[in-house]
Amino acid sequence: MDDRLRLSRRIRFRLLAWLRRSRSGRIEFIRRFGYKEIIKATQGFRKVIYTNYHGSAYRAKFKGGEVALVKELTALDLGRERFDEEVQLLGRLRHRHLLTLRGFCIGRKRLLVFDNIENGSLKEHLNDPLKTPLNWKTRIQIAIGVAAALEYLLIFSSNDAQIYDVSVNSCNIMLDENFTPKISDIRVNRHPKNHPKATHDSCSEGSCADEECGNVIFQLGVLMLELITGQSSDRQGKDLIEWVQDSCIANSIDKMIDPDLGNNYSSRELQKVLAVARLCIKTRYEPPSFSITHVYRYLQKKIDVAT
């Protein structure tokens, strides 16, 4: 059994490594958008989805009716050459659960245009009372989909001099017309020499002692808590973790579950997802002894939901 698992992991890694190499050429199909076109689509940059220290992301509706995400990059050292490099490197990424880069714009702002976000952000669906609550199956599919994308992203970066940084929370997980989750906050690390390099062993098969891997696992754990509780997290997850670990709540899972779910969820699945989430958030204080691949495979195997 162990031999088969090791063989399966090696084959999976080699397939992903081959995919990384096959996507490493120059991207020719990424479109250059006009600045006026972006202004019109974003209604003058008024439709803000989220903002962080890298810039802001806006909801945009283009002439054909497609709803997309426009991200403004505000790094002080992002000159034209580095911006072109950002476009090329982000344009390589292809995964069902990553937003695809459609184009860019160079005007008064450095802008990237990403694919369909028809249903907005996950946070909107957890917090907005006017939106139809997400059912349990959809929430589990979101957790598994995000884990799959993180595995892909870390392995994709494992042999690349430019490592991709990623942030995961309900604000920057976008949902397409089918509620398929898409990670939107991916960046090119500007200091790869000083960045802990993810390896085959740390990201794919063995433990994940790498600082970046551990941080990503922690963020995934917080995201799972958001999906379970229906509470979006501020302060990098600290508030939600404190709330979940409160003694009166920890003694009763029923008090933790999002009221919008009612009784329409599997208690068995809930306990498994909650157990994984608690393991993940422990990586905030100690190096994890498991990897993103372990989390993804466990969720796939133990939760009876097709992705």
The catalytic residues are: 165
Cβ–Cβ contacts within 10 Å for residue 235, how many?
A: 9
Q: Give the whole-angstrom CA distance, residue 210 versus residue 195.
A: 10
C-alpha count within 13 angstroms, C-beta hemisphere, residue 83: 20
* 301: three-class secondary structure by DSSP: helix
Q: Could you tell me the end-to-end alpha-carbon distance of the chain, in angstroms, rounded to an integer? A: 25
Report residue 163 as tokens: 């490592």
Residue 183: beta bridge partners?
Answer: 98, 173
CA dist 78 and 80 (Å) reads 7
Residues 6+ apart with CB under 8 A from 229: 240, 243, 244, 256, 257, 258
Question: How many CB atoms are closer than 10 A to CB 64?
Answer: 5
If one counts every other C-beta atom within 10 angstroms of the C-beta of residue 213, the result is: 24
